[in-house]
A and B are shown apart, each in its own frame.
Chain A
Amino acid sequence: MSDALLAALSFAATVGLYYANKHLYARRRHPLLMPLLATPVLLLLLVLGAGIPYRDYIADTRWLIWLLGPATIAFALPMYDHRAMLRRHGLSIAAGVVVASATSIVSSVWLARALGLSPLLQKGLAVRSVTTPFAVEAARSLGGPPDLAALFVLMTGVTGMLVGEAVLAWLPMVRSRLAQGAVFGGAAHGGGTAKARQLGEVQGVVAALVMMIAGAANVAAAPLIRRLFF
């Protein structure tokens, strides 16, 4: 089979599998059927099973990854939608963004170093707690691997969804809805925001705002992170 045909088929399989998965998940809301998890796992099995070289797989599907760029710009709309909350609780939201980002970057890099992971992985892990489009940009300007960063972002989102509520119950001081939302948005971006939305509307909005602003802040701070750590 020619490379071009293989690339086109890979693209079709990715899009087809994603929409089939999404359709199925809308009917049966089982956590293992989440498109976030099931689609990449099935694709991985398909690509490994059929022996498709990564070079051929990514040739056309990289245009899907490219759309993460315009998606970062699209975040300006929901941020503007929530401007009332932003005005009223700007201080708390800013505190959430700064503390969550700083803790995430410092602890990820230091833990990765302590465990003897390579500088490349340290860079990928540094930006793992912000939403994918921003993480990819931030990893790029750190000189890290954007695709691995996307993988770590996904792992972080799933971790945050799994442990979030347990951690909130265990922490004695999280009484305000604002703090609950900030915890989810700051630590686990999209996955956390989905979880925060289940806790309540205020939590959902705060989580979304912290997620978006932390994303932009991480990209803006990438040169500084690079100078401080790498």
Chain B
Amino acid sequence: MAAYTGGILIPRAGHAASMPRSSAAKASKTATAAASAVSTATTPADLPPLRRLGAVLAQVGLLCGLWLAAESLRRHFALPVPAGLLGFLALAAGLFSGLVRVHWLRHGANWLLGEMVLFFVPAMLVVTQYPDLVRHDGWRIALVIGLSTVLVMAATALAVDRVHRLELWLARRRGPRGSRA
């Protein structure tokens, strides 16, 4: 049993069986839910403005605290992994295991990700420190970035297209039995 949803082949029965904590009815809706999550995730839920501000502040504080904790762990044990990645993996593990609830951090995470441009704008002004770089190497850097970007796009397209076909083939083999094991 497979259904075409948005042009992507979904082995529905197998998919429902593989998802913990969700009913089969919910699983049939996940294609649309997942697809719209990008847009819904960036618009915070309806809270009165002042309470939302409080939630954003507290949760950004929490995420900053998590980063500081990861940083001190890294220093203490001289880990080769940067604090950001350590915190990202820890939070992902917490969310997937159900120990951490999404709504504890939703507003803070949305704010941090939504205003990311503000955080790297000051880094851009570093060009004032490298006038020679702009004058002599500017076109070379632009050339590297342009050529490499086109190369990355072509290679990724080729690879994902092939693997996606393999995925469809695997889903078709597995589909009728309705199990993913």
Contacts and interface: CB of A to CB of B under 8 A. Distances in A.
The CB with the most chain B CB atoms within 10 A, among A14, A81, A190, is that of A81
19 contacts: A44-B124, A70-B64, A72-B84, A84-B31, A92-B163, A95-B159, A99-B155, A103-B152, A116-B140, A121-B141, A137-B85, A140-B82, A155-B142, A171-B153, A175-B161, A177-B8, A197-B39, A201-B36, A202-B6
Cβ-closest 4 pairs across A and B: A72-B84, A201-B35, A61-B122, A74-B109
Contact of A125 (B15, B18, B144, B151): B144
B149 A163 contact: yes
A87 B137 CA distance: 44
A65 B91 contact: no
A167 B112 CA distance: 31
A202 B116 contact: no
Interface residues of A, number: 111
A99 B162 CA distance: 12
Contact of B18 (A87, A134, A171, A183): A87
B97 to A, nearest CB: 11
Interface of A is mostly: helix
Contact of A223 (B15, B80, B87, B161): B80
Interface string A28-42: 000000011001100
Interface string A143-160: 001111011111110011
Interface in B67-100: 67, 70-71, 80-85, 87-89, 91-92, 95-96
Interface of B: 6-8, 10, 15, 18-19, 27, 30-31, 33-39, 41, 60, 63-64, 66-67, 70-71, 80-85, 87-89, 91-92, 95-96, 102, 105-106, 108-109, 112-113, 116-130, 133, 137, 140-164, 166-167, 170
B67 A70 contact: yes
B160 A99 contact: yes
Interface in A64-78: 64-65, 67-78
A9 to B, nearest CB: 14
A49 B118 CA distance: 21
